[in-house]
Chains A and B, each alone.
Chain A
Amino acid sequence: MTAVTPEKAPSLRPPADGVGELTIVPHRRPWRLVTGLAALVLSAQFLHGLAVNPGWDWPTFRTFVFSDSILRAVGVTLQLTAYGTVLGFALGAVIAALRLSGSPILRTIAWTYVWAFRSIPLIVQLVFWFNLAYLYRRIGIGIPFGPSFVSFGTMDLLGALGAAVLGLALHQAAYAAEIIRGGVLAVDAGQLEAAAALGIPRFRQAWRIVLPQAMRGILPNAANEVISLFKGTSIVYVMAIGELFYQVQVIYGRTGRVVPLLMVATVWYVLLTTALSLVQYWVERYFARGSERHAPPTPWQRLRAAVTEIKEKRA
């Protein structure tokens, strides 16, 4: 760079050609308007169809959507989801810990578990657990390869619902383990080092320092898994368990009204998935504390800010 003397310094005033005084106009996008309108028309057509097409048979929908048998079936679906989630993630956490442990034997066992349960289709597993009594008539606790002290009939221990929960939880655990492991690996190694340098005991390091930070990476994937499990429970209809999808099939088998009853199931699945998504939003927000300089506003805060802005503009 060469030194510029004050006399030679370029003038900061706009040139005298008048360009500096012209109005600035943003680029126009006429196609946005056209495509937007087209989308609106198509959406209106679809909604109109929902309302007037007699095939949807809304009176039948209304009869069944809050009927006792459907509500009970929704309960079973929620129960299967809850058990599958809690047991699956608890076992998944253990497997993730094994995979991250220093012992090659434990690491291999955990790896094999994940490999096996991700390889076998869920529906095959479910039918297999349902037929466990064929392989093992009785299950006992005792000395390995030796005598057992107590034993139970497999069918008493594991009814159809038990077999379904077992299958869902074992399947879920394989995926949960990988999600948890991924979250833990994403935590900066310096965090563990700092905790170790401060002499914080091992369990507390994991519980207070690593897990809360890992949760940020775990949560979006875990929520995906819970939602997919929630809908995936419909697969246990193969075991004749009265969850939502099975119950709907029973009813339309009897009445022949397939479409409105499928809508009953659809509406329940959509409603509950929406509820789960809301829970996800708030839990994620909780674990994001400290991660950014300023916490992003909640949707409620955003709405209020928008309303205030409009009011101020009017005033």
Chain B
Amino acid sequence: MSGDGTTAMVEVRGVHKRFGRLEVLRGIDLDVRPGTVTVVLGPSGSGKSTLLRAVNHLEKLDQGYVRVDGELIGYRRVGDKLRELPEREVLKQRTRLGFVFQNFNLFPHLTVLENLVEAPVGALGVPKDKARARALELLERVGLADKAAEYPRRLSGGQQQRVAIARALALEPKVLLFDEPTSALDPELVGEVLDVIKDLARTGTTMIVVTHEIGFAREVADTVVFMDGGVVVEQGAPARVLDDPQHERTRAFLAKVL
């Protein structure tokens, strides 16, 4: 279905999402090619987090669809309808998508290692010793191998977020989704988390990153998407969107954050 580099790994089409009377997403189209990094920018309330959550069905859609690697997420087509999948099926699909939260959401009563082992064992049925070995490899990769036995609250924010990234990687997902991964961190801890994400980008992990870090976008993104008011205002290579924006709204936003 994919893998030839031309079809999208993530395909978002005509997505609408309403919270009561407020329409947060008003027709979003987006393609993410395999092995690329897409950075989503926009003012708060522009719908970028909702879009990210819609990709792994943490938000139900009112219209449109999301496909990952050719597979509809959260729905199945029945005639001319999209019928929501039972939760069990949705949970299975989510094991192929990694999600990193702004507030880490590590499990505080489990050690770092147990945090990483929980999903592979509980959701995929990976044998425990295998999951452990893999978890230790991942902790090595994010530079926290010595913290395996620690409880998350004893780590700094930056360390916690690196554990959260390792936890998402433990399922070997096809796509990683980052929801403002550095917004809850003290300024001096932002760099270590961005370094881990940059390292993942170099190894060809497909990623969608919602962030306010313009410098990171410029350095790492293959595509920058600017959202405002629930629509994609413009998208393209970082040099084009960040240095030569075509829309007044993009210019106004960049003027404020740069």
Contacts and interface: CB of A to CB of B under 8 A. Distances in A.
Interface of A: 188, 190-191, 193-202, 204, 208-209, 212-213, 287, 289-294
A199 B109 contact: no
B171 interface: yes
Nearest to B124: A199
Closest 3 CB pairs of A and B: A290-B151, A199-B95, A194-B105
Nearest to B97: A197
Nearest to A290: B151
A190 B105 contact: yes
Interface string B102-114: 0101111111000
A290 B122 contact: no
B151 to A, nearest CB: 4
Contact of B109 (A196, A290, A294): A290
B118 A290 contact: no
A197 B154 contact: no
Interface residues of B, number: 32
Interface in B144-187: 151-154, 167-168, 171
A126 B142 CA distance: 61
B119 A290 contact: no
B123 A213 contact: no
B216 interface: no
A290 B94 contact: no
A290 B101 contact: no
A200 B152 CA distance: 19
Nearest to A288: B109
B21 interface: no
A209 B58 contact: no
B85 interface: no
B92 interface: yes
A188 B153 CA distance: 15
A289 B107 CA distance: 11
B110 A196 contact: no
Contacts of A291: 108-109, 153
Nearest to A215: B109
A289 B171 CA distance: 26
B94 A196 contact: yes
Contact of B119 (A188, A199, A292, A294): A199
Interface in B98-136: 99, 101, 103, 105-111, 118-119, 122-124
Given A191-B105, A202-B87, A197 B58 contact: yes
Contact of A196 (B91, B111, B118, B153): B91
B56 A290 contact: no
B105 A213 contact: no
A12 B123 CA distance: 64
Nearest to A197: B99
Interface string B26-65: 0000000000000000000000000000001010000000
Nearest to B94: A199
Given A191-B105, A290-B109, A290-B151, A201 B119 contact: no
Contacts of B111: 290
B171 A199 contact: yes
Contact of A190 (B87, B95, B103): B103
Contacts of B108: 213, 290-291
B101 A194 contact: yes
A30 to B, nearest CB: 44
Contact of B94 (A197, A293, A294): A197
Contacts of B167: 198
B81 interface: no
Nearest to B179: A197
Contacts of A208: 118, 122
B88 interface: yes
B109 A201 contact: no
A209 B107 contact: yes
Given A199-B91, A199-B123, 17 more contacts: A190-B105, A193-B105, A194-B106, A196-B94, A197-B56, A198-B118, A198-B119, A198-B167, A198-B168, A198-B171, A199-B93, A199-B171, A200-B123, A204-B123, A209-B107, A290-B151, A291-B153
